[in-house]
Homo-oligomer: A and B are copies of this chain.
Amino acid sequence: MVNKYKVIFQPAGRRGEIEEGKTILEAAQALGVDLEALCGNKKVCGKCKVRIEEGYFEKDNIESGMSHISPPAASEDELKHIKPEDGPGIRLACSSEIHGDLKVFVPERSRAGKQVVRKAAKELSIALDPAVKKYPLTFTRPTLHDMTTGDCERVLKALEEGYGLKGLTFDYQALKALQDALREGEWTATFTVWMDREIIKVEPGHVDVCYGLAVDIGTTTCVGYLCDLSTGKVVNTESMMNPQVPYGEDVMSRITYAMTNPAGLQTMQDAIITGLNEIIEKVVTEIKQDGPHPGYAIDDLTIVFNTAMHHIFLGLNPTYIGRSPFIPATQSSLNIKARDLGLRINPSAYMHVLPIEAGFVGADNVGVLIAQEQYNQDEMVLVIDVGTNGELLLGNRERVCSTSCATGPAFEGAQIKFGMRAAPGAIEKVKIDPETKEPQYKVIGKADWHTHIEGKINAKGICGSGIIDVIAEMFRAGIIDKSGKFVMNLGTNRVRTDVDGRPEYVLAWAEETSINTDITVAQADVRALQLAKGALYTGAKLMMQKMGVKKLDRVELAGAFGSHIDREASLTLGMFPDVPIDSVVVVGNAAGDGARMALLNKDKRREAEERARWVEFVEIATEPAFEKEFMQAMHIPHMKDKFPSVKELFQQSGSKVEIKG
């Protein structure tokens, strides 16, 4: 017998009986309480803070018979996240077990909100010709004369006669459903065919609508776009933190985890497959489902990721891409049965893996490539895909080069003190008055800037675009200097030092927030952003140098969550070499767009395969000039008066522009 205890969550007022030993987070999930758990219960994100208001919490309190609030004996992991300013009784819900009746308060800041993936699914202009199509057929009821013709053979003949589909094969699982489907539909059934080659589903009656999922697995965040393959429209979007984050925050640390733990690769593969299955289950909630499991309605899946995520997702040993000579297991596109990976879509469906380029320039960059199509343009375009890894594509129809640089997750709002996902309550835009240092900001979910809102503002944190904005504005307002250091004594209480004497800027006062704490930008936040933008800048600059490109015609900013970056702020920060502001274009999640295009038009798959081989990979990090350039690029902005511009560099060196055609 397991003991059960009463647990009450405030302010939601939800209550229930929970088994002894479960965590508060598990209790919240069981009772449907809205509680943030970014990292997937791995005790690393520190976002699930709750306050124990009353009750038996620790085992020893039960024994002593105490019934009031017990002092939390937090673990070392928890203590990393709990700060004195959090107040008394704060614990991480994921780390705290229940050993008695409890009353728990969930602070506003810990309440999860539905992620807003703005512009995540922009309109794509693409001819609809998906790899998977549905074909309805009606048969005459067989008689004894048909005794020597199997159901399968009758169907194949009819698909050839009715639709010109020759030489089709039956997937084994689909074949198993054939007999009953034909009879259930009274000899009318719909056949789902993959690439005009294989029957992957049989459904009774007429079925028109057909779904596919385009997936973008980032090092930090994952997103899935559910598309109606008969209209091309995005029906729903779901995103989540990559559940591999607990095994390493960046690509190299995950490769190391796989190398140093015997079951490391399997553990991480299982984590991401489970994660994608969660996305699948959530993304289909609003469509009609008849199948044996929620995701069964999905008949096709395309996927992009960087090379390390690609290998780990597929269970391919990532060791060899992590060390010289950096050989990947495979570069070509792959079609793998969903059931071979344990993906909970139609088990007979294929997952189409876009090809990878080389080294760390993976299928996600191929997605960007086929979405942005530099190879069809005359202009010299730099495409920057902003993520935990920054990936760069530079070129035009003559030649396109690619490279990769480690930016860290700052652009995505991670590793930032008040960083949060782009969800209601997130500050997404910031302006700072250069005189008064007073900010104006816009919160997701509110129609106007905070100074124009009557009533509660309810700010909760800062999302990726807000961070770029606020740091660019802090520089313009003279709150930080070009080295990123705080300027003190500006005659404003917005710039102050925290309890440890470290400088910070108050973006929102406690009363403007829903978390009753000042939302601040710390020196460490500024540093994280400088590292990220410095990496991007250096990559772009050295690639231009290598290709002999003097001038960019256009910069395209892409990224799963970088779609709302302010162009001016990105220029101010010096995220990339100088171009006129009108030549900076924010293109949204181009990698995801590429995955969607490959889902909606099968020719895009062929194009991806060809162009992945055509693009030239250039290695930047091993360039002798890299370190020096990187140190300089950390500054804000990369000032012309201090450092030579790319143009000047080339004029000095006298090098010629070489165009390979």
B147:A327 contact, CB within 8 angstroms: yes
Instruction: Using known A-B contacts A173-B340, A330-B153, A336-B172, determine if residue A358 contacts B325 with beta carbons closer than 8 Å.
Output: no
B325:A144 contact, CB within 8 angstroms: yes
Of B147, B180, B356, which one neighbours A326 at CB under 8 angstroms?
A: B147
Bound form: Cα–Cα A142–B320 in Å: 11
B330:A150 contact, CB within 8 angstroms: yes
Of B143, B178, B317, which one neighbours A179 at CB under 8 angstroms?
A: B317
A148:B617 contact, CB within 8 angstroms: yes
B152:A331 contact, CB within 8 angstroms: yes
Q: How far is the CB of A351 from chain B (nearest CB, A)?
A: 10
A positions within 8 Å CB-CB of B: 142-153, 170, 172-173, 175-176, 178-180, 183, 314-317, 319-320, 324-332, 334, 336-337, 339-340, 356-359, 617, 619
Bound form: Cα–Cα A357–B149 in Å: 9
Bound form: Cα–Cα A511–B172 in Å: 56
Chain B residues near A170: list those with CB within 8 A.
330
Bound form: Cα–Cα A475–B179 in Å: 49
Q: How far is the CB of A619 from chain B (nearest CB, A)?
A: 8
Bound form: Cα–Cα A281–B313 in Å: 32
A317:B180 contact, CB within 8 angstroms: yes
Chain B residues near A317: list those with CB within 8 A.
179-180
Chain B residues near A327: list those with CB within 8 A.
142, 146-147, 149-151
Q: How far is the CB of A170 from chain B (nearest CB, A)?
A: 7
Chain B residues near A324: list those with CB within 8 A.
144
B329:A179 contact, CB within 8 angstroms: yes
Chain B residues near A180: list those with CB within 8 A.
317
Chain B residues near A356: list those with CB within 8 A.
150
Instruction: Using known A-B contacts A179-B317, A180-B317, A334-B172, determine if residue A147 contacts B339 with beta carbons closer than 8 Å.
Output: no
Bound form: Cα–Cα A180–B327 in Å: 12
Q: Which residue of B lies closest to A347 (CB)?
A: B340
B332:A152 contact, CB within 8 angstroms: yes
Chain B residues near A148: list those with CB within 8 A.
331, 357-359, 617
A316:B175 contact, CB within 8 angstroms: yes
- Counting chain B CB atoms within 10 Å of each CB, the highest count among A314, A328, A339, A358 belongs to A328
- Counting chain B CB atoms within 10 Å of each CB, the highest count among A148, A178, A179, A617 belongs to A148
Chain B residues near A316: list those with CB within 8 A.
175-176, 179
Of B143, B150, B330, which one neighbours A329 at CB under 8 angstroms?
A: B150
Chain B residues near A619: list those with CB within 8 A.
147
Bound form: Cα–Cα A336–B339 in Å: 14
A151:B325 contact, CB within 8 angstroms: no
Bound form: Cα–Cα A320–B328 in Å: 50
A358:B152 contact, CB within 8 angstroms: no
Bound form: Cα–Cα A144–B173 in Å: 43
